Structure 1
Amino acid sequence: MNTELLLKTAMFVNFSREELETALMAMELRVRSYRKGANILSAGTMTNDLCIVADGSVSVESSDTRSERKVLSIIMKGQTFAAAYAMLPDEPLLVDYCANEDCSVLFLDMSRLADRNEEWAVKLRNNLLMVSLRNELMLSERSYHTASKSARGRIMAYLGTVALQTGKSEFDIPYDRQQMADHLNLERTALSKELSRMRAEGMIDYCKNHFVIFSGK
């Protein structure tokens, strides 16, 4: 287990190493590995576990009535998922969490936190609130990215958000083309055609998941 990684995560901000070790023992830390495509948590089930990506990445996916799957977001190394469900264990998951690539995930039983009043437990509850707020912002971002009726509007809303978050006009995104299309609620062919048009017009350039936005376009 990489304690240095955990101390840098949002869940354990301001924790000492001793507090971290106490928290992990109290919440019965488990570590599991998954191959790409494997289900980690499934829609319709319930969980007490808060999860942290220790290695690799995890996709948040939904299925419609025709069993067509869409990737809603990608959770990267060091990020947390299923926090709200872990704190509301009677609420069934509305999405699937799947291994986006070979990955390792830490599971922490949040039911063990309920009656704890030690300083580390208070810190953890406060950090959990901040994690939940960030997750709400991520959902709001996707609504913003898909608000435009045009493919170009959605692409620029998303790429513009990444540019603001990174502070750069050149960056990598965590999605492949199909995942990007799913995130923007577009058909893959429509996304690819519009990206090609935008590159031809000098608005952007890209190679796989690496993008450049040209200013003034």
Structure 2
Amino acid sequence: MTKDIIFSSALWAHMAAEEKESMYHCLDIRMKEYTKDSPILLIGEKVLDIGVLVSGQAVVVSENIEGQRNVIAFISPGDLFAEVYALSGKPSGVAVYAQTKVEVAFIDARKATTVCQSACPHHKQLIWNLMQIVSTKNVALNDKIQCLGQRGIREKVSVFLALKHNQYRNDMFDIHMNRQEMADYLCVDRSALSAVLSKMKEEGIIDYHKSTFSLKIKDRL
């Protein structure tokens, strides 16, 4: 079951079952468990490994000197984390916490990015997959910067929903966040966010139920 989750990660895309098994042993993957709310990675920590969440849920956050947290991303089974810091050699600029009991697979970044003597094509595929993952996350970070660059809460919400609409190519979509998580993502107060959403719903611009949103008048976002 553990291997199935690891192999479901985008890191192993476009590989046959036997190629995945070969890479698994070549990379000498280490497994580690963490209890709920415990840190998996701390800000300033030296990062040598790429993390793959195997079970549970985790969150990536930034923290200020007063301990206040800003949610960067949520991590689900199969998702990678810390790959940018592991590849760059820079100390971690974010922290990762377990939201539930979790199990993590750690992959040595140097082994992952260094082709073995046999130069097997599936190792080259893994490196290409890693490049795609980093690029995709960079796009997601740019999306968040677009949201946070807006002055008001309504403007942030409008850009956020427009980006989700473009992502899913549908007027109805699930943002996969509860209200507190959405507020943390946009760096706004939850009550103020709820008030803005209610106002936009009253105006007939959007409709929503929990995490599912529907755009009614897109040109008024």
TM-score bucket of the superposed structures, by smaller chain: 0.7 to 0.9
Kept in 1: contact 2:115–2:123 (CA 8 A): no
The answer to whether the Cα contact below 8 Å between 1:146 and 1:184 also exists between their aligned partners in 2 is yes
- Partner of 2:202 in structure 1? 200
CA distance in 2, matches of 1:167, 1:4: 30
Partner in structure 1 of residue 216 of structure 2? 214
* Partners of 1:60 and 1:73 within 8 A in 2: yes
Find the counterpart in structure 1 of residue 123 from structure 2. 121
Partner of 2:182: 180
Deviation at 1:2, TM superposition (A): 4.5
Q: Give the Cα–Cα distance (whole angstroms) in 2 for the partners of residues 57 and 149 of structure 1.
A: 31
Q: How much is the aligned-residue C-alpha RMSD, in angstroms?
A: 2.1
Q: Is the 8 A contact 2:153 2:193 kept in 1?
A: yes
Which runs of 5 or more structure 2 residues have no equivalent in the other structure?
none
Which residue is 1:78 aligned to? Answer: 78
The separation in 2 between residues aligned to 1:41 and 1:70, in whole angstroms, is 15
Secondary structure class of the residue paired with 1:77: coil
Q: More displaced, 129-138 or 171-180?
A: 171-180
1:46–1:166 Cα change, 3 Å: same
Correspondence 1:97 to 2:96: yes
Partner residue, 1:59: 59
Once the two structures are TM-superposed, the CA of residue 5 in structure 1 deviates from its matched residue by 4.3
**What are the Cα deviations for residues 143-180 of structure 1, in whole angstroms up to 9, with x where unaligned?**
11122212111112112222222223223223232221
Q: TM-score with structure 1 length normalisation?
A: 0.88
Cα drift, residue 194 of structure 1: 0.9
Q: Is the 8 A contact 2:204 2:217 kept in 1?
A: no
Counterpart mapping for 1:12-31 below 5 A: 12-31=12-31
Mapped partners of 1:182, 1:127: distance in 2: 30
Question: Counterpart amino acid of 2:158?
Answer: M
Q: CA deviation at 1:47?
A: 1.9
Q: CA deviation at 1:77?
A: 3.0
- Deviation, 1:112, is 2.3
The verdict on how the C-alpha distance between 1:36 and 1:193 changes in structure 2, with shifts beyond 3 A counting, is farther
The more displaced of 28-37 and 194-203 is 28-37
1:165 is aligned to 167
The answer for unaligned runs of 5 or more in structure 1 is none
Q: Specify which of 185, 188, 191 is matched with residue 189 of structure 1.
A: 191
Q: What's the TM-score once normalised by structure 2's chain length? A: 0.86
Deviation at 1:97, TM superposition (A): 1.2
SS in 1 for 2:160: helix
Are the equivalent residues in 1 in contact too, given 2:53–2:79 (CA < 8 A)? yes
Structure 1 CA distance for aligned equivalents of residues 122 and 28 of structure 2:
15
CA distance in structure 2 between the aligned counterparts of 1:108 and 1:64, rounded to whole angstroms = 29
**How far apart are residue 104 of structure 1 and its match?**
3.1
Assess if the C-alpha contact under 8 Å between 2:60 and 2:97 holds in 1: yes
Q: Separation in 1 of the partners of 2:86 and 2:101?
A: 24
Partner of 1:147: 149
